Each structure stands twice: as C-alpha cells, then as structure tokens.
Structure 1
Amino acid sequence: MRETGGVALDITAKRADPALLDLPWSTPLEDWPEVRLAALPRGISRHVVRFVKLSGRVLAVKEIKAELALREFYMLRNLNRLGLPCVEPFAVVQGRVDDAGKPLDAALITRHLQFSLPYRALYSQALRPDTAARLIDALAVLLVKLHLSGFWWGDVSLSNTLFVRDAGAFAAYLVDAETGELRERLSDGQREHDLDIARVNIAGELFDLEAGDLLHGEDPIETSERIVTRYRELWAELTDIEEFTLNERWRVEDRIRRLNEIGFDVDELAITTDFTGTTISIQPKVVDAGHHSRRLLRLTGLDVEEGQARRLLNDLDAYRAATDRQNDDEELVAHDWLAGIYEPVTRSVPAPMRGKLEPAEFFHEVLEHRWYMAELAGHDIRIEDAVVDYVANVLPSKPDEKAVLGTDTGAIPILASDTAPLPIVTRQNDDGAATSER
C-alpha cells in the first residue's frame, strides 16, 4: 500500500518488488512514456496492454477493471499451481487516479514469457506454409491439457495464446484467463462449448489475416475446423476405454507407449475384466503432460518444451549408441553428453545473437542443419562443422525472439476497420446457460 497524492495505491503481488512503485500509475497505460516500455510484439486485445522493463525483467501490464484483474490474477496462480502452460501472474495494482483525480482502471501484471510470440507476429515473418496447422495443433494440445484439469476457458482463440517454438513445431501457452472457470471436472457439453468458441474465433482471426494478405494459402474455415478434429483425436487417445481379449495383454503396454509418444505419462490405469474373465477393458484415469521433458530434466537438469525434450533425448540416445555405452548408467552417459555435446554447441552462439533462439531450439536447429548438410554432401557431417555453418549462414537472418526487435503486431494494419474484430466471449452459468458478447 502506498499513499500517492492523498490516494491509496493498493498492490497485490506474488512477490513484493518496491520498483513497482516507480511506474507512472497516475498516467493511463496507453500514454506511458517510451522510456518505460520494452519493444515487444503485441497481440490483439480488448484491453490496453504494454510491456515494461522492471528490475531486470520484462512484464506485461494490462489495464482492466479491478474485480476482473484480481479474479484473473488468482486464476492464473491456480493454473500455475496445477502446472498448466500459462503466463505467470506478478501483481495487481488498484486505486489508480490521474493527475486530475479521475479514477483509472486497475492493472494486471504478468511476467513476459521469454521467446514467445503472438500469432500475428509469427505471420509477419517468413514462415512455412503450414504455419496455421502447426499453431492449431499446439492450441489443441493446450486445450486438452486445460480440460483434463477442469479448466473451462470460455474465450479460446489464437489471440489469447502465446506460442513458443518447440523443435520445429510450437508449444502454446494461455495468456488470458479473464473468462475462465476452474471446476473439479468438465462435462462433455462444456468441452464442446469451448471447442465451438475456438472454431468461430479462429476462423475470424484467420479471415482477418487473409484480409491483410498475411495468410500463406490456408483456408480459414478448413483450418478453424482442424482445432475440433485434432482436439477430439487427442482427447480420445487420452481418455477412451479400450477392450481386448485376455491373450492381448500386451495392448496395455502399447496404450501406455502411445500416450508416452504424444507426451503424456499415465499415473493410473483402470483395468477391469468381464464376468467370464476373457475380455479386458482399460482406461487411463490420471494423465500428466510432459513425459519427455520430465525425463530429460531428471537426466540432465534441462527444463525445455516437450518437443525439444524429445529431440534432445533422441540425440542423447544416438550419442549413447555411437560411443558404445548402451550398458552404462543412463545418468552418467547423459552427463557426458551434456558436457561434451549440448553445452559446447549452445555456448557457440555469439553474444549479440543469443536473443534469437533459446538454447534448446538452437540445438534442434543445428541438428536439422547438420542433416541437410549431410544430405547435400552425401556423407556425415561433424556437429562442430554444422554449428559453424549455421551460425555463419542461417542464424543472422533469424528474428530476435527474446527481447523481440521484430514487428509490433499492434501496428499491423487491419482492413476495413481501425480496430480488430474482438473474439466472441462466452460466459457460462452453472446450469449450462451461456451468454455471448464481443
């Protein structure tokens, strides 16, 4: 709490940082001086959002009504406790007034997710033609993770998501929990409602990109339907009951292996037999995301995205085979791979270019580059040579994704309107009734 011109400034923070008091809270957020701001790409939001530099970190500040700010702050804290992919809440500032004594909205502050980009920033770059499909796949995985934990989003969209590169694909993070509700379990109707909101919002966002000539040949309607298809495929794999005969018990392990391959661990299985004992039914009861990332963290201490972890583990396995150490302790081999392969490669990035890609993504890109070099040369290429060639010929053209010196997507023109079409927001009551607004 701080007295400012006779008005009490109320700060609710996850961790107290006195530097918060130095920000110009008596100024509307849209008028904050450039010296306070970080040059990061902004997505589309119905609220004013700015990035600020504070105590060596970058924070996102959103101007919003006090009751909504507090609700979202505590919702994000709960989602973080559950280990779900979302931004980290930092503080809520209330009691703001301008110099004339007029009340200002509260501010919700979250930590900026390093190396993450909004979807419009990704489309402003030169990307592969299947960018939309990869983003939709990442969003489908995120939505399944949220639903498994009982979170009803209520405003699923590309705009409310941040994307982090993940070994050639993307990992999605929830960035706006304003409309969400956390329940013990979601009904099928609630899940389908979120899917319908996602389909409509994504179609609108892609039509907007198409109008701005930013799409790469994707059909907005067809692409928006992909969220439904991919979500249902993944949900079925994670939750469906599977039946088989007693002499097919190997299918229990096969089901667990398939779940591990798509990045999920099974903590508990429900296994039952029929009255005759000849038919077995299995259903995953507790499914946790992050199978490969947890294994890599245990072996090496590296905390990376799931796809990156899978790629790094594959390289670790290849190193183990190449050094003929299949019978050695896995943790010892992992330590040697980390010290002899991974760390020398990631340390080879020149200091001025370290903000372009996070280390694990850089390592993945070098592996990809080595494969292309070997294909062109017709023989194996040493990873040291691949690093030198990649740093010299590929990395300089990459956009800086840490502190982003790229396009401010808030400045990308939107046709036919000075403001972006807001996504459809739907709020659901306990009885299942829903109201929608823009």
Structure 2
Amino acid sequence: MVALELTAARPYPALLDLPWQLPLEEWPEEILAALPRGISRHIVRFVRVDGRVIAVKEIKDDIARREYAMLRMLRRLGQPSVEPVGVVSGRVDDDGEPLDACLLTRHLQFSLPYRAMLSQTLRPDTVQRLIDALAVLLVRLHLAGFWWGDVSLSNTLFKRNAGEFAAYLVDAETGELRNSLSDGQREHDLDIARVNIAGELMDLQAGGLVSPELDPVDVSELIMTRYRTLWAELTEAESFETGERWRVDERIRRLNELGFDVGELDITTDIGGTQIHIQPKVVDAGHHCRRLLRLTGLDVEENQARRLLNDLDSYRAATDRQNEDEDLVAHDWLTQIYEPITRAVPRDLRAKLEPAELFHEVLEHRWYMSEKAGKDVPIETAIADYVKNVLPEKPDEKAIVGADTEAIPVRARPD
C-alpha cells in the first residue's frame, strides 16, 4: 500500500484530516469554502485549513510537483503569483485504486477570477482594464525570464487596485523559467494570449455576461498593443543631444509612473560626444508600494500605493510640514488619517473591500461630495456617508459565498 505523502514549505497538520481517499469532485460540501471558481481543465476546490483558505487542484503527480517548484521560484523572484502550499501524493481510494495528486495553493484574498469580475455588471471598460492588468503581468514575467505557455484570463486572478486591476498568475503548469526570453518566445506567449482571450470572451457572450456588441477579436488584439507599448518603454534605447540630459530624468519618471523602478541605466555617448544613448538595464515593479511600505508598513498594490502616497503628500502640504522628516509625517498620517478611516467601517462590512481599496474609494467619494457641495468635505463626513450609502451595496470580495462561475454555461472549445 502506498503511503500518503505531503510535501509542504510549512507544516499544516490540519491538511492530514482532509478526505484524501475521495476524488476531489466527491468532497463533501460541509468542508468546502464557497468561492467563485474560474474555468479550469482540472477539478479545483477550496477548503478552510487553520483559518486559511487553500485551493486544491487535482493533477498528475509529476505535473503537480513541477508546478509547485515553479510557483516557489516565481515567489522568490517577487513575481505576482499565488503562494504554493504543498503537494499531496500517494492517494488511493477506499478500494485501493490510485488517485491523482493534489497541488495546494493559498487563496489570494480579495481576488476574483475574470468571470466573477465581469458578472458583477461593472463599468463598460472593465474588460479593457483586465487586459491592461494582464499585459503588465506578462511584461513582468517576461522580464524575469518566465515563458508562460498558456496565457489567458482564466489562468489569472485579479484584485482591485485603486480603480484599476492588478493581475496574478494562478496556473504555472506549462511555464518555463530561463535566463532571458527571445523575441520569438515573447511573441509566442502573446499569440497564445490573443487566441485564448478571444475564445474566453466568446464564451462570456454565450453566457450573456458581456454585451453582444463587444468584438472579442478586437478586444483580444489589445493585449498585443498594450504589451508592446509597455515593453518598449521599459527596454528600448533612446538617443538625444548632450544638451538634453533632463530627458534621463524624464525617462526614469515615466518608468516610475508605470510602476517600475530603475535599478541600472546604460548611458553611453557617441564618438564625438554629441549624443547620449540611454537604455534601462535592470527594471523592477513596485516603485510606489515599496516607498509606502518603507514609510508606513502598509503592503498594498501599486496603484493603491500611488493613491495613498498622493494623500500623504496632500496631508503634508495641508499641515505645512514639507520641511519635516518624511518618516515622522508619514507616521502621523497613518495614525491620524488612514487608520481612523479604515477602522470606521463596521465589522460586518469589512469583508467588502480590503482597507487600501476602501480608503481609495472614500477619497473618490469625498471628491464627488465636494464637487456637488461646491466646497471641501471633511474626510470624516465622507466615510460616514460612504459606509451608510455605498459600501453596503457592494459584494464581499474577501470571500464571496454562493456564486460558482463554473456553473455559467460556456461553449465547447477545442484545446
């Protein structure tokens, strides 16, 4: 008899209590966490273990171990991906017949699959914003030398990010990690993305989730243009006259605005010294979130960090403290503005949005209230009105119970 084997980065003794002798599709409802699931070629279920939600994917042993190792490497490289928990292998049923292994990953709080995002009747441009987020994710992975091999909306989770979305890789089953990628490898990933996205949007139209006026092919082409624009900004060389050295700072600022930090620049001049050539050599994402983390200890998404830093800067100007130590001002903003606002939300509504996104929405709400009133509205007034009139109508995004997006009918599509 083959013994059950659990490979995990950290011990979760409660995992051993799960019914591994049953095929995943037969696990009893009482042990499952009802979270929205995207379309997957494998059986996926969510369970609660030691206060955490774990995604369990039934898959062949060798593939599960390979994907577990790949996700661990991506996490070590700081790439946006789900956190691998472990692999359970050596499973057999009550009759002694072998069962597939299971890959365990930690559920990303406040994230949703694209089908759940689009089923909430959000703004008309939601599809385009999801494509933008996927393009940023793909650029980041390619810069790290990761070839995905199955780029799609289905293999991605999305979190709200101050009005935009941040994308996280979920499925690394087909991926390969190399020192760098050739143009052909990157274009191959893009072509896979274009085909998959078009098919996924056609499925959504068949299920009545997006407007029939939307052209899936046209939208799928966006991944090509958005990706190439961002890649060029990050990697292409730029030449200018020696009297225009300010353009070095301008290039760095443009990269920062895109959420990337410049670790190294390759700056050369021509033989006559009349032209300067500049090319970013090492770039990394997270310029704003790292600054906010350093100043406040808040670990949030990049656009959220940008918005919070803007409010911090406004607070600094409003209190006439531009010449004071930035760390001290940030501490006061955190304790006097950010924390009181996020704590003003009643406990039963805190699963609606994560704190940073809530703060962003309160700032937006205050702006609309001030515009309507024709004068500045205190943030305390804005949060009270937001909690009373806006927040209760929002779905819980920390753990949405009920709707299973797998239940939405889709057209059969050949693999």
Give the TM-score range, shorter chain.
over 0.9
Which structure 2 residues correspond to residues 4-403 of structure 1 after superposition, within 5 A? 6-216=1-211, 217-403=213-399
SS of structure 2 residue aligned to 1:7: coil
Deviation at 1:405, TM superposition (A): 2.2
Distance in 1 (CA, whole Å) between partners of 2:400 and 2:366 is 27
**Aligned residue identity for 2:239:** E
Deviation at 1:137, TM superposition (A): 0.1
SS of structure 2 residue aligned to 1:113: coil
Distance in 2 (CA, whole Å) between partners of 1:226 and 1:7 is 50
Deviation at 1:259, TM superposition (A): 0.4
Deviation at 1:406, TM superposition (A): 4.9
| Structure 1 contact 399–405 (Cα < 8 Å) conserved | no
Deviation at 1:367, TM superposition (A): 0.5
Runs of 4+ in 1 over 4 A off after TM superposition: none
**1:406–1:398 distance in 2 versus 1, CA, 3 Å:** farther
Deviation at 1:413, TM superposition (A): 2.1
| Structure 1 contact 400–406 (Cα < 8 Å) conserved | no
Distance in 2 (CA, whole Å) between partners of 1:406 and 1:195 is 34
Distance in 2 (CA, whole Å) between partners of 1:246 and 1:258 is 20
Distance in 2 (CA, whole Å) between partners of 1:409 and 1:350 is 29
Q: Deviations over 1:190-233 (max 9, x none)?
A: 00000000000000000111111111443211110000000000
**Aligned residue identity for 2:288:** H
User: Which ranges of structure 1 fall in alignment gaps of 5 or more residues?
Assistant: 1-5, 423-437
Distance in 2 (CA, whole Å) between partners of 1:142 and 1:169 is 13
Distance in 1 (CA, whole Å) between partners of 2:381 and 2:194 is 45
Distance in 1 (CA, whole Å) between partners of 2:119 and 2:76 is 34
Q: CA RMSD in A?
A: 0.9
**Aligned residue identity for 1:125:** Q
Distance in 1 (CA, whole Å) between partners of 2:344 and 2:214 is 37
**Aligned residue identity for 2:312:** L
SS of structure 1 residue aligned to 2:47: strand
> Which one of the candidate residues 392, 409, 413 is aligned to 1:413?
409
Q: Deviations over 1:146-190 (max 9, x none)?
A: 000000000000000000000010000000000000000000000
Q: Deviations over 1:105-161 (max 9, x none)?
A: 000000000000000001110200000000000000000000000000000000000
Give the fraction of aligned pairs with identical amino acids, expressed as a percent. Answer: 74
| Structure 1 contact 152–181 (Cα < 8 Å) conserved | yes
Paired residues, what number?
Answer: 414
Distance in 2 (CA, whole Å) between partners of 1:200 and 1:403 is 31
| Structure 1 contact 356–399 (Cα < 8 Å) conserved | yes
SS of structure 2 residue aligned to 1:50: strand
Q: Deviations over 1:296-353 (max 9, x none)?
A: 0000000000000000000001111111111111111100000000000000111111
TM-score (norm 2): 0.99
Distance in 1 (CA, whole Å) between partners of 2:406 and 2:79 is 27
Distance in 2 (CA, whole Å) between partners of 1:376 and 1:213 is 36
Distance in 1 (CA, whole Å) between partners of 2:173 and 2:255 is 31
**Aligned residue identity for 1:374:** S
SS of structure 2 residue aligned to 1:404: coil
Deviation at 1:377, TM superposition (A): 1.3
User: Greater shift after overlay, 167-176 or 213-222?
Assistant: 213-222
SS of structure 2 residue aligned to 1:8: coil
**Aligned residue identity for 2:364:** E
User: Which ranges of structure 2 fall in alignment gaps of 5 or more residues?
Assistant: none
Distance in 2 (CA, whole Å) between partners of 1:140 and 1:410 is 25
Partner of 1:433: none
Distance in 1 (CA, whole Å) between partners of 2:72 and 2:279 is 30
